[in-house]
Each structure stands twice: as C-alpha cells, then as structure tokens.
Amino acid sequence: MRKIYRLDSDYETDEINKIIDKIPTVEKDILIDFAESIDFLVEVCIKEDGTYGQNDGKEIMIVILDEWEKKKMIELTNLIYDSTRYIIKDISEDVLFGKHSEKNYPGVEEKMKKIFDSYIDMYLDHDTVLDKINMYGMASLNERDKKVLESANI
C-alpha cells in the first residue's frame, strides 16, 4: 500500500533555489527525473502568516509513495539538505479518516484536494471505514464513508 507523506522543512524557497543552483548537472538531472517519476506530488510553501502558496516561504511537500520510493526520496534529499532541517510524517490514516484535509492548507486548498481525493479513491475501503467508526464513532462518518459501507452491504 502506498502511503501519503508530508515533508516539512525549515528551508525557505530562496535558500533551496541557491542550493539547487550549486548542484552539479548530473545530480540535478537525477533529482529531476525522480521527482518527475512520482505520480502524486504537491509542493507548496507555508508563509509567515500561516497561509500557503506556490512559492515564498518554508517548503512543504505532500507526496504519495511506495516504501522503496520513500527510501529513495530520503536518500536523494539527504544528498542536498541537512536531515535535521526537515521531517517526514506519514499522514495516510489522518487523510483517510478525514482528520487531515485540504482545509489545513489555506491558499492552496484546490491543489491539495486533488491529491487527497486521489489517495482516498485508491485506499478508502470498508475496513478503513469500520476502523474509523471504532476510533471516532458513527458521527465521524461523511457521505463518502457511508457510500463505501453501502457498497459493501454493511
């Protein structure tokens, strides 16, 4: 099962651009090829006021990866960035349970909704909905959850 991750860094956009400019062409091409091979990738920046945008601010990446892709991403990221300046968090369950949504990203909700909807479409099943009921109760169900249960005749 692929998982959805959020990578938060304390690197500002300008700082990352300067680092990337200094990377030799061969390594830069490897990084670009890897980034382009990822089906689901959203890069945004958090601004000082807590809103999000396409650039200017601290870099955040939301990505859906297999385990091997995650390992490769960490390996490549560590070649360029100081590993103490970013964290990777698995937000898969939070997205499936509706606890982490596009509403968490003011300014780029539409972009985030696409990646979250894609993930939910891939992995929301009746077992996940039943787990959600066990953890948060029946009142936590949304229309999508109810449709999944109906389709499973539960």
User: For the segment 65-112, what is each residue's pLDDT rounded down to a tens digit?
Assistant: 999 999 988 988 887 788 898 999 999 999 999 999 998 888 888 889
Interval 41-66 mean pLDDT: 83
Domain presence at residue 143 = no
Q: Measure the CA–CA gap between 29 and 42, rounded to whole angstroms.
A: 19
The overall average pLDDT reported for the chain is 88
Domain presence at residue 105 = no
Q: Measure the CA–CA gap between 141 and 16, rounded to whole angstroms.
A: 40
Interval 111-138 mean pLDDT: 94
Q: Measure the CA–CA gap between 101 and 17, rounded to whole angstroms.
A: 28
Distances (CA, A) of 72 to 11, 78, 92: 20, 10, 19
Q: Is the pLDDT of residue 154 over 70?
A: no
Domain presence at residue 72 = yes
CATH of residue 33's domain is: 3.30.70
Domain presence at residue 152 = no
| pLDDT at residue number 134 | 95
pLDDT-based confidence at residue 28 (cuts at 50, 70, 90): confident
Whole-prediction pTM value?
Answer: 0.86
Interval 133-137 mean pLDDT: 94
Report how many domains make up the chain: 1
Domain presence at residue 131 = no
Q: Measure the CA–CA gap between 116 and 102, rounded to whole angstroms.
A: 7
Domain presence at residue 68 = yes
Query: Residue 60 belongs to what domain range?
Result: 3-96
Q: Is the pLDDT of residue 39 over 80?
A: no
| pLDDT at residue number 30 | 85
| pLDDT at residue number 81 | 83
| pLDDT at residue number 43 | 81
Q: Measure the CA–CA gap between 10 and 82, rounded to whole angstroms.
A: 10
Domain presence at residue 26 = yes
Domain presence at residue 39 = yes
User: SS3 of 89, please?
Assistant: strand
Q: Is the pLDDT of residue 40 over 80?
A: no
